[in-house]
Chain A
Amino acid sequence: MSEKETLIEVKDLTVHYVLHSGTSEAVNHISLAMKKGETLGLVGETGAGKTTVALSIMGLLPVPPAQVKSGEIIFEGQDILKLSEKEKKKIRGNKISMIFQDPMTALNPIDRVGDQIAEGIMLHQSVSRKEAMQKACDIMEMVGIPAVRYSEYPHQFSGGMKQRIVIAMALVCNPELLIADEPTTALDVTIQAQVLDMINQLKKKLGTSILLITHDFGVVAEMCERVAVIYAGEIVEAGTLEQIFEFTSHPYTQGLFQSLPSLEDSKAKLIPIPGMMPDPADLPEGCKFADRCPVCEERCRKTLPPLAEMEPEHLVRCFRPLKAK
C-alpha cells in the first residue's frame, strides 16, 4: 500500500475561530496524508475539530470568524490554502467533493433533485444540458434511485434516499477525494448499513479516496484502511486499522473503545470516559486529555507530548502509551 502515490497532504494545519467572546482553537497543528484510493477515518467526538479539517480542505471555512493560522494542504502539487477563490472553485465538487451530515437539509428544497445533480456536471465539464441530465440519470441509477425520479423534489424522498442523492451529487464528477462528514449519523441503523455498503462499492468502482469523518468505530471498521483519532483539535493517535484496533495505544482511543457496546462480549460493562472535552477557547497547556486520563502524571499537565512513532505508520501522542506490537 505504501508504494501508492500520495493524494493529499495536510501539514501542520492550525485553524482558529476568532470571536468577540474569545478565540476558539479548533484545530491545532494537524498533519494528515492520504494515498490514492484509500479510505482514512477521522474519528473524534463532536467539537473535536473534524469538520473544521474537512472545511479547510474544501476551502469552505466561514471567514470570518475562521482564520488559518498555519499549515498547508498540498493537493496535486499545489497548496490549496493559497489558491485563488476561482481556482478553488475548479477543485470543489470536481476533484474534491463532500457529503454533509444531514441529508434532510443538504438539498435545495425548491430544485428538482436531478437538476441538483446535473448542476455539478454543468459547472465542471463542458457538456450540453442534455448530456448533463443524462449523466445525472446514470448516476442516480448507480446510487439506486430510478432515473424517472429526476423531476421530483427533495421533500418527496425519504432520509436514506436523500443521502443517496447527496452522494450522487458528490460523485457525479468522479472526484479524486470524497470527504464524507458523518454520512450516516442522521439515518436509521438499517439504512446506515445500506448506504455504507453503497459507498464502498462506488469507491471500488470509481477508485475514489475517501476521508471519512465519524465518531463511530463500527463505521470505521467497515470502511477504513487507516485511522486518525482527533481530540480537542489535535491528532492523538494514527495508524492502520489493525494498529488502532488491535494495538490501541492512546488512553483516549481506548476510552472510546470501552464506551462502545461490544457484540462479542455482551456482558462487558460499558466504561464511559469521565468528564468533558476541554473548551477549545480555553485549552490546557499540556496534554489536552490529561484531565480525563486514567494514567495521567505530572509531566502530562506541563508539556504536550509529541506525536511519536511507535512503529512504522503508528503514531501516538502520549508519554505513557498503553501497549505496542
Chain B
Amino acid sequence: MARYIGKRVLTMIPVLIGVSLLIFLLLELAPGDAAQSILGDYASEESLNELREEMGLNDPLIVQYGRFMKDLLLKGDLGNSYQTGRPVLETILERYPMTILVAILAVIATALLGVTTGLLSAVKQYSWIDNICTVIGMIGVSSPSFFTGLILIFIFSGKLGWLPASGSYGPQYFILPIITMAFGSCASQMRMTRSAMLEVMRQDYIRTAKAKGQGDKKIVFHHELRNALVPIITVIGQQAGVLLGGAMIVEQIFSIPGVGKLMIDSIGTRDYPMVRGGVLFIALSFSVVNLLVDLAYSTVDPRIRSQLVHQSKKKKGASA
C-alpha cells in the first residue's frame, strides 16, 4: 500500500513541474510586466529598465524559470507580491484554509444531497419522486453558480433577510455559498448513485440477504449502498476537483477571502507572482484530491485493496 502511494506521489511531480512551467510561460504572455506593475503606468522608461535589470527580467526565460524553481524548491519561496511586497506563500497560506473549508463543505453537502436523492430515486424508481429529483438536478447543473448565487442572495438576504450576502464572519455566512455549490453539482452525484444502486439491487447477493430475513433498511444501507460506493466515490472525487475550481467563483460571488478571490483580484491588479502561486496551489490540491480518491476506493472495496497489495508485491518480487 505504502509503495502504491509512493508511486502515485512520484508521478505527481513531473505533472506539477509541467504546471509550473505552463503557468510561468502563460504569465510571460500577459500584458505589462512586473516592473510596470510595481512602478505603475506612468513610470519612466529609464526607471523601468533599472528595475527590470535588478529583478532579472531581462535574462532569458529559461534562466528566470530556473531561478523561480530554485527558490521554490530550495527555499519554499514563491516570490513577493507586487502589490503588498509580502511573500506570496505567506499570503496564500493565510487564505488557503478558507478555500479548503468552502470546498470540503461543498463536497459534503453535494454528497449528502446527491446520495440521498439518488438513493430515493433508485428505491422509488419511475415514481414521481424519481422524476422530480431528476428534473431539479438537471436545473441545478444548468444554472451557473453565479446565477444561482445571485438568486439565493436576492431571496434569502435581500427579501427575507435571513442570511448574510457576503463575508466570512461566522457559520451563517457559509450557508448560501455551500447551497449554491451543492445545487450545481449534486445532479451527477445523484445520477451515479441512482444507477449504481439500481445495478446493485439486481445482484444475487441482495437476494441472499433477503433470504436471510434481513430488513429493508439494513439491505439498502448495509448491503446495497456500500456496494454502490465505489462508483459513488469516483464521482465524489471528480466533484471535489470541480468544486475546488467552483470555489473560486463562489468566493467571488459571496466575497469570501479565499485563494480564488485572491487570484482573481490579483489578475485585476496584475500581481502575477500571486496568480502563479495561486494556480500552483490549486493544481497541487487537485492532484492530492485525486490521489485521496484512489486511496478511498481501496478502503471500501477489498477486491481493489488486495489488487493493490498484490501489484506492489509482484513489483517487489520482480525487482529483487
Q: Do chains A and B touch in the complex (CB under 8 A)?
A: yes
- Which residues of B190-230 have CB atoms within 8 Å of chain A's CB atoms? 203-205, 207-215, 223, 226-227
A60 within 8 A of B: yes
> Across the interface, which residues of A come within 8 angstroms of B223, CB to CB?
108, 111
With A and B bound together, what is the CA distance between A94 and B214 in angstroms? 11
Q: Contacts A110-B300, A110-B301 hold; do A123 and B214 have CB atoms under 8 A apart?
A: yes
A98 within 8 A of B: yes
CB closest chain-A residue, reference B216: A85
Interchain CB contact under 8 A, B205 and A106: yes
Q: Contacts A153-B303, A155-B302, A155-B303 hold; do A107 and B205 have CB atoms under 8 A apart?
A: yes
Counting contact residues on chain B (CB < 8 A from A), the size range is: 20 to 34
> Across the interface, which residues of A come within 8 angstroms of B211, CB to CB?
58, 60, 92-93, 97-98, 100, 170
Of the candidates A91, A111, A156, the one whose C-beta lies within 8 Å of that of B213 is A91
Interchain CB contact under 8 A, B207 and A109: no
Interchain CB contact under 8 A, B213 and A124: yes
Q: Contacts A93-B212, A97-B211 hold; do A110 and B204 have CB atoms under 8 A apart?
A: no
In the complex, how many angstroms separate the beta carbon of A79 from the nearest chain B beta carbon? 18
How many residue pairs, one in A and one in B, have C-beta atoms under 8 Å apart? Answer: 73
With A and B bound together, what is the CA distance between A90 and B214 in angstroms? 9
A119 within 8 A of B: yes
With A and B bound together, what is the CA distance between A59 and B213 in angstroms? 10
Q: Contacts A153-B302, A155-B303 hold; do A108 and B205 have CB atoms under 8 A apart?
A: yes
B306 within 8 A of A: yes
> Across the interface, which residues of B come within 8 angstroms of A216, CB to CB?
none
Of the candidates B204, B226, B306, the one whose C-beta lies within 8 Å of that of A102 is B204
The number of chain A residues with a CB under 8 A from chain B is 30
Interchain CB contact under 8 A, A92 and B203: no
Interchain CB contact under 8 A, B208 and A90: no
Interchain CB contact under 8 A, A119 and B302: no
A166 within 8 A of B: yes
> Across the interface, which residues of B come within 8 angstroms of A109, CB to CB?
205, 227, 301-303
With A and B bound together, what is the CA distance between A92 and B301 in angstroms? 28
A169 within 8 A of B: yes
Interface centre among B208, B211, B301, B302 (most CB of A within 10 A): B211
With A and B bound together, what is the CA distance between A155 and B210 in angstroms? 21
With A and B bound together, what is the CA distance between A155 and B300 in angstroms? 14
In the complex, how many angstroms separate the beta carbon of A164 from the nearest chain B beta carbon? 14
A269 within 8 A of B: no
With A and B bound together, what is the CA distance between A170 and B213 in angstroms? 11
CB closest chain-A residue, reference B227: A110
In the complex, how many angstroms separate the beta carbon of A142 from the nearest chain B beta carbon? 18
A204 within 8 A of B: no
Q: Contacts A108-B223, A110-B227, A155-B306 hold; do A92 and B212 have CB atoms under 8 A apart?
A: yes
In the complex, how many angstroms separate the beta carbon of A180 from the nearest chain B beta carbon? 12
Interchain CB contact under 8 A, B204 and A100: yes
Q: Contacts A110-B226, A155-B302 hold; do A89 and B208 have CB atoms under 8 A apart?
A: no
Please give me the 8 A-B residue pairs with the lowest Cβ-Cβ distance, nearest first. Answer: A93-B212, A92-B213, A93-B213, A105-B204, A153-B302, A108-B205, A120-B212, A89-B213
Binding site for B on A (CB under 8 A): 58, 60, 88-94, 97-98, 100, 102, 105-111, 119-120, 123-124, 153, 155-156, 166, 169-170
> Could you write out 20 A-B pairs with CB less than 8 Å apart?
A60-B210, A60-B211, A91-B213, A94-B213, A100-B207, A105-B204, A106-B205, A106-B208, A107-B205, A107-B208, A108-B205, A108-B209, A108-B227, A109-B227, A109-B301, A110-B301, A111-B223, A155-B303, A166-B208, A169-B212
Further pairs besides A102-B204, A106-B208: 11, Cβ < 8 Å: A58-B211, A60-B207, A60-B211, A100-B204, A100-B208, A107-B208, A110-B303, A123-B213, A153-B302, A155-B303, A156-B306
